Chains A and B, each alone.
Chain A
Amino acid sequence: MKIKLRSQNGSSTILISLLLVTLVVFALLSITTSASELRLSQKNASNNKTYYMLDSEGKRFLYDVKSKINDALSISRDRPESFFDNLDILLGDNIIRSFNFDDGFMSITIERTIILEENSRRKYLEIRLLISQPASDSKINEICSIIEWRLWQEPFELNNTVDLWEGIP
């Protein structure tokens, strides 16, 4: 007499396979969630770096202006009234400036825009400096003050156009 034992419809196999599917789904969801969070963190860090790159270029420009102010002060030590004329010559053609006259005091406003292009998007740092009339004992940091050190970028525009023939935006 042969005795054959058969399993009971493979119920444990079905149970285990369902469990595995559930575990895999949750594991994949978790890893996807974490990966998206990491991408956001990295993007935030990258934006921060971009700001400081612009800031560093601004610092170079500020240093350049201050060194020209220092030279102008040295030249006009004997004739303080010629300070702005000397500074105007030293600043050259590349630096945008405007002369102001308020309450009998003269001043120069210097403007510079620093542009950084990243991933086909531009970020700008707008710098405006005010050079005021130096007194006999004025320090350079008092003569040159920062009015504006502003970061801005082009507004985000959604590009949902599709090339009819190529099929790529």
Chain B
Amino acid sequence: MRSGKKGFTLIEMIISVGVLAVLAVGIIRLFIASEVTHKKAIDIDRAVLETNAIIEEFQEIINPSEKASRFTIYYDNNWERSVKDSDSMYAVYGDIVMLSEDQGGLSHLDLRAVRLKPYPLEKSEEYEIYNISVIVEDMSYWGEN
């Protein structure tokens, strides 16, 4: 004879919470990935603004390739310029080279904006956010007729 005992099984609850815990790990990774993607989007915007500012500074520079052939500008987490230290989060690497001997008044300016520390859940250090190459004019080149 069956006693017909009906009871609430704890096992069912434990199993369902266990399944939730396992699947929630994947879902939380999705949330983290969306936050990282959002951060990357903002970093691209900031990198564009900062590199534009550098390019515009070079627009009427005198003797650019002699002034600084290679330079690095460091930024903190809020994209404020800072010195190179452990808090530096971003850097813009600049490279300026005279175009050719025939075109001594023109220089090639290469800018690379990178993130120095990896994004959450990512391994790559020095992640390149944005790069741009432009030609700048040396305003002192035509100084003498």
Contact = CB atoms under 8 A, between A and B. Distances in A.
Interface string A1-44: 11111111010110110011001100110110111011011101
| Residue of B19, B36, B48 contacting most chain A CB atoms (<10 Å) | B48
Nearest to A29: B34
A63 interface: yes
B134 A56 contact: yes
Given A16-B17, A30-B31, A8 B106 contact: no
A2 B135 CA distance: 89
B143 A8 contact: no
Contacts of A5: 5-7, 9
Interface stretch (A45-53, A105-113, A115-123): A45-53
A7 B41 CA distance: 49
| Residue of B2, B24, B132, B145 contacting most chain A CB atoms (<10 Å) | B145
A34 B32 CA distance: 11
Main secondary structure of the interface of A (DSSP, over half): helix
B53 interface: no
22 contacts: A4-B3, A6-B6, A6-B7, A7-B9, A12-B12, A13-B12, A16-B16, A20-B20, A24-B27, A27-B27, A27-B31, A34-B33, A34-B34, A34-B35, A37-B38, A38-B37, A38-B40, A38-B41, A45-B47, A52-B132, A55-B135, A140-B145
Ranked 10 nearest A-B pairs via Cβ? A34-B37, A140-B142, A27-B30, A30-B34, A56-B135, A41-B41, A41-B44, A34-B34, A16-B16, A5-B7
Interface of B: 1-9, 12-13, 16-17, 19-20, 23-24, 27, 30-31, 33-38, 40-42, 44-45, 47-48, 52, 55, 103, 105-106, 130, 132-137, 139, 142-143, 145
